[in-house]
Amino acid sequence: MPYAQPPTGISRFIKKPLHAIGCIAPAIEYLIGGISFALDSAALSPAYDSAADLFSLSVASAMSAIAYQAGGGYDEMFGQDGLPRPRMEQFVRRLESLADGDLVWHQKAAESMLRNLGITFAVYGHQDGTEKVWPFDILPRVVEPEEWTVIEAGLKQRIRALNLFLQDIYNERRVLKEKIIPEELILSAKTYRSSCMNLKPPKGVWCHVTGTDLVRDKDGKFYVLEDNLRCPSGVSYVLENREVMKRTFPQVFQGVSISPVEDYPERLLHTLLACAPDGVNDPTVVVLTPGVYNSAYFEHSFLAQKMGVELVQGSDLVVTGGRVMMRTTRGMKQVDVIYRRIDDDFIDPKFFRADSCLGVPGLMEVYRAGRVTLANAPATGIADDKAVYSYVPDLIKFYLTEEPILPNVPTFLCDRPTDQKYVIEHMHELVVKPVNESGGYGILMGPQSTSEERAAYVDLIKTNPRNYIAQPMLTLSTAPTVIDGQLEARHIDLRPFVLCSGEDIYVLPGGLTRVALRRGSMIVNSSQGGGSKDTWVLVKNGSRNHSKNGNGVPAQEARGSLSC
């Protein structure tokens, strides 16, 4: 038995390197939102496949002779004993009651619907931007209500703090004066924009839309992997996934009460309107896209369509008379709020990158004058710098005098001498990554690396310590997924979406669950064999919020959650 029941929690990685326990499994690159993160794949090594560590459940009645084997780590549906988690029992029973081949049939129906709807994403590096159909798994990922309550509160807290941090950093800088976070760390960040000093966005909102990446480690706890405060994408798939589920697999919804996600566009529009510049009556909102060849174009058009606003490209906008105007068939029309899905760097060639042809020359001047709202505000990238990330728990304490609800993944800053020493000594068991790169560039995965690579990396770190951080490796939780007509465990993550309107903070129940479809893989990125699942946040018995329709009659809604 080379690899016994692993100690739970990520702390074990810090105490003891993997290879020391005799595990030779390669680390696997794990990409979220284009940013790589390495996780250990110990759970998937042959040694780990021995019976003692596996548990299985037969859903043979649903499909012929299928045994579901949870991988290592935490399984979202089955406990360590191989039995469904209490709240999942009813759901599992429903799966069991399906006729032979039903699940596969529904899976096919969903795929065909996605194809007909043209729900695709562009794959870079191919001629004429080849489209791929969005891979979708028919089995939903279920989040228990108690868990969600914690996640929701944790995210609200985090966004509140990060928003205050942004306002502070570009204005009073209390956080630096009181030495909560080293000044040098901020000023040396690539995403820090000195040109944005003294900016005061309408309603004090910087990050109108955030997509925070969460992972559940072996200990069953959710950890924040990273904050995406620039242009997080994926929310359109949350809505489409639910739609596809409802149309192709309505049976599974019976008797289950799930938090709705369909009102997201309404909430987003509300958020954008609420943050319009002062004194504008009936503001005009637009979505700004880099264009049809952007990999997230589907989402840009989806959101514009659902909100009923124009989807503009840089070339549609022009600055005249101190205002942003769009070219319409009836001449120029003023634009008041821009939900921009273009990075800071490209948004205004006069202000940021001069070679950008995606942006609008002069836009920032209008923005600074307070005559247009940008969502998200420029310069929010400083708050999702990976070194700043490690201070978020401190920021929460500082701005809110609260204890952080959601934990961070422990992070070593190579900028700190003691951390640097530790990272260099333990490089073979850590993931080392640059603080601002995305797309998995420049990442070193300790266990997989050669000693030459590590030596080269040590040089990099010593040359520019500010640019590197290190983290232990996690094992993503798994969920049952339909693979070739069988249920198999696949690793998943979760990206909830948070809207901040200045009046309130809204967390879309659930979010995007991405699933690594390849066996053993922890790469959930859609361009690399990742798919997604509908994410169900169960509603507690009788607790559905009826505030929207006031005198709502809860009788029908309160049929209960999966556990009843």
Partner 1 sequence: MLSRVADSVFWMARYIERAENVARFIDVNHNLTLDLGEGLGDQWAPLVYTTGDHEEFFKLYDQATRENVLRFLAFDKKNPNSIFSCVCSARENARTAREIISSDMWEELNRFYLLVRDAVNSGASGDYEFFAEVKRASHLLIGTTDCTMSHGEAWNFARMGRLLERADKTTRIVDVKYFILLPQAAADVGTSLDVVQWSALLRSASALEMYRRNHGRIQPQKVIDFLLLDRNFPRSVRYCVGGAEDSLHAVTGTPEGTFGNRAEQQLGRLRSELDFTSIDDVISSGLHEFVDVVQDRLNRTGEAIYQSFFEIDAGGNRGQIQTQEQRQ
Q: How far is the CB of 286 from partner 1 (least distance, A)?
A: 9
Amino acid at 172: E
- Measured from the CB of residue 369, what is the shortest distance to partner 1 in angstroms? 19
Rounded to the nearest whole angstrom, what is the least distance from the CB of residue 66 to partner 1 in the complex? 32
For partner 1, which is the closer residue by CB, 332 or 458?
A: 332
The alpha carbon of residue 553 and the mean position of all alpha carbons in its chain are separated, in whole angstroms, by 34
Burial class (CB in 10 A: 0-12, 13-18, 19+), 559: middle
> Cβ closer to partner 1: 144 or 336?
336
Q: Smaller CB distance to partner 1: residue 317 or 431?
A: 317
By three-state DSSP, how is residue 6 classified? coil
Q: Which is nearer to partner 1, 22 or 291 (CB)?
A: 291
What's the min distance (Å) between Cβ of 476 and partner 1? 33
318 binds partner 1 (CB under 8 A): yes
Task: State the burial class of residue 188 (Cβ atoms within 10 Å of its Cβ: 0-12, 13-18, 19+).
Answer: middle
Establish if 292 lies at the interface with partner 1 (CB under 8 A). yes
Contact 396, 158 (CB under 8 A): yes
Among positions 297-316, residues that touch partner 1 (CB under 8 A) are: 297, 301-302, 304-305, 309-313, 315-316
- Pick the closer one to partner 1 by CB: 361 or 502: 361
> Which of 374, 138, 85 has the alpha carbon at shortest distance from 250?
138
Q: Is 326 in the site for partner 1 (CB under 8 A)?
A: yes
| Segment near partner 1 (CB under 8 A); pick from 52-60, 114-122, 341-349, 443-451 | 114-122
Q: Residue 459 is inside which H or E element, if any?
A: helix 451-463
Shortest CB 489 distance to partner 1, Å: 33
Q: How far apart are CA 162 and CA 192, in angstroms?
A: 14
The residue within the footprint of partner 1, chosen from 117, 180, 400, 405 (CB under 8 A), is 117
What is the rounded distance in angstroms from the CA atom of residue 417 to the CA atom of residue 134?
45
* Binds partner 1 (CB under 8 A): choice among 330, 401, 403, 463: 330
Stretch that binds partner 1, among 198-206, 317-325, 349-357, 516-524 (CB under 8 A): 317-325
Q: 57: which 2 tokens?
A: 């459940």
Contact residue for partner 1 among 2, 22, 86, 118 (CB under 8 A): 118
Distance, in Å, from the CA atom of 62 to the CA atom of 301, rounded to the nearest integer, reads 38
Contacting residue, 19, 327, 421, 546, with partner 1 by CB under 8 A? 327
* CB count in 10 Å sphere of residue 279: 7
User: Minimum distance from CB of 306 to partner 1 (Å)?
Assistant: 8
Q: How far is CA 554 from CA 145, 182, 398, in A?
A: 17, 51, 41
Under the criterion CB under 8 A, does residue 328 sit at the interface with partner 1?
yes
Please state the φ and ψ torsions of residue 75, each to the nearest 5 degrees.
-100, 135
CB of 336 to partner 1, least distance (A): 16
Q: Which residues pair with 28 in a beta bridge?
A: 39
Judged by CB under 8 A, the chain residues 366 through 425 that form the site for partner 1 are none
Instruction: Indicate whether 195 belongs to the interface with partner 1 (CB under 8 A).
Output: no
194-200 LR contacts (CB < 8 Å, sep 24+): 195/351, 195/364, 196/170, 196/378, 196/379, 197/170, 197/171, 198/170, 198/171, 199/170, 199/171, 199/368, 199/377, 199/378, 199/379, 200/167, 200/171
Among 116, 281, 451, 463, binds partner 1 (CB under 8 A): 116
Site residues (CB under 8 A) for partner 1? 115-118, 287, 292, 297, 301-302, 304-305, 309-313, 315-316, 318, 320, 325-332
